[in-house]
Amino acid sequence: MLKTLQTYKLIFLRLIFIVIGIELSFYFFKIGLLFTGIFGLCMVFLLGREMYFYVRNLILVYNKTISSILQNDFSSDFSKHKFNSSYNDLFNLYETLKNKQNEQVTRDIIYRSILNNIESGVIILQKQETDWSIFLMNDYFSNHFNVSKVSKWKYLKNQLPALCEIIEQEDFHEIKTSIEISINEESRQTFVLQASRTEIFEQDYFIVLLDSIQNLVEKKEKDAWINLMKVISHELLNSITPIRSICQNLEDIVAQDSLSSEDLEDIKNSVQTMLRRSDHLQKFVEGYRKLAMLPSPKKERVQLQDLIENGIQIMNPLFKRNNIEVNNLVTQNYWVNVDSQQTEQVVINLLTNSINALENKDAKQISISAEAKNNRVFIRVMDNGKGIEKEIEDKIFLPFYTTRTEGAGIGLTLSKNIIEAHGGYISHRSENNQTVFEISLVEDL
């Protein structure tokens, strides 16, 4: 504001000088000083010309700057005008908006780069009056479906009619379904389709995500194999490395001309160590065989209450030895169609898991409860133990994964496989400072 007043002051002073110059020139003409009057008028002309160009340049710079701002065109360079303090506020506004636009462009480039590098088809539509236009289509969508990056919905509809028909049937509202799409007129592939609609700054957008079920399954299988191979490699190296070291030591001992009593003792200890590691490897392979050769369940209609009671009865000596209080809250009789021996093994595995979790607790409690809803029975085994650390939550069902030195790491994996073979599932969570394992089975009504 202060600099604007200074600009007005300069213009006003120029006008005063011009008016005074005109008055003096006419005065000189009146008293007969002709050449002095002409000189005065020349000076007035020069002052007027200078003020014209000053005001003209001032207006042009303002107009150009304001026009650039309105058109989002920040390519102009006004550095040569920065010496004039009258433009400071305007140039500060211009630079601020220019920096914000650069930041926005940078973010757009980063977001588009992220979208173009994910292995999911992404397409964003924008509402234009009564029709939709393509706001964004990532590279995966374009390349995987062999669709050119068109700008109008009608062009996309010509290339991917199966997808567009489903979206139109739902009137561009939220969608969660599977869809079969033919790629390059070859075999059809199944995709998970998720779509949602949102409004941002009075602009209507429709976001479509497509994930190949085949790719998802392959990725899960690959991750599972990688994790399994890590565990198997770790277990094998833990046994093979010390056995190899012992064999090298034995080779050095037997290469001697004579053996002392100390050498014989070393040989004896080495053989015992190799036997222990061999036994560990044998148990490891047996555990793998159990997982790989799990027999099909021989189902029969059994009472859940009896099944739970049997599991508790088997584990009762361990509960007493470890001073653990067990609360069986399964009072109502539910019927399930299961292999009683396999399901009982699952209950035993979960109770064993709880006993280990309560190892360093003073007050040790295990609770077992059940409820039926939506034609399913939910069995919960809860303990107030140390819980499951966040870092290993996604690993506890992996084969041979264990945090215990004496554990085999197959109990939870075997339980998961058994329950899934019965058409159910097993999950875990933390609830009121308790660790909860929940089994879901179909109720036999």
What are residue 373's DSSP bridge partners? 376
For tokens 């429709």, the residue is: 206
Rounded to whole angstroms, how far apart are CA atoms 445 and 443?
6
DSSP code at position 201: T
Q: What per-residue confidence (pLDDT) applies to 283?
A: 66
What is the structure's pLDDT at 405? 52
Name residues whose C-beta falls within 8 Å of residue 396's C-beta, 6 or more positions apart in sequence: 388, 412, 428
Contact 400, 290 (CB under 8 A): no
Q: In terms of residues, how long is the chain?
A: 445
- Residue 362: count other Cβ atoms within 10 Å of its Cβ: 6
Q: Determine phi and psi for 191, rounding to 5 degrees.
A: -125, 150
Residue 87 confidence (pLDDT): 65
Residue 330, phi then psi, degrees to nearest 5: -85, 90
Q: In the prediction, which pLDDT does 193 show?
A: 85
State the Cα–Cα distance between residues 244 and 236, nearest whole angstrom: 12
pLDDT in the model for residue 248 = 77
The string of pLDDT tens digits covering residues 102-149 is 787 788 888 888 888 887 888 888 888 888 888 888 888 888 777 877
Structure-token pair, residue 416? 């998961």
pLDDT for the residue numbered 398: 66
Surface-to-core class of residue 250, CB atoms within 10 Å of its CB (0-12 exposed, 13-18 middle, 19+ buried) = middle
- Contact between 273 and 250 (Cβ < 8 Å): no
What is the Cα–Cα distance from 89 to 105, expressed in whole angstroms? Answer: 24
Closest CA relative to residue 192, chosen from 175, 207, 173: 175
Spans of the chain, pLDDT less than 50: 1-2
Tell me how crowded residue 308 is: count the other CB atoms within 10 A of its CB: 23
- Which element (helix H / strand E) includes 279? helix 261-292
Q: How far apart are CA 202 and CA 39, in angstroms?
A: 65
- Per the CB < 8 A criterion, the answer to whether 384 and 365 are in contact is yes
pLDDT, tens only, 53-68: 777 777 777 777 777 7
DSSP 390: G
3-state helix, strand, coil in the chain (%, to 5): 55, 20, 25
Bridge partner list, 166: none
Q: Which pTM does this prediction carry?
A: 0.43
pLDDT value at residue 50: 76
pLDDT of residue 2: 47
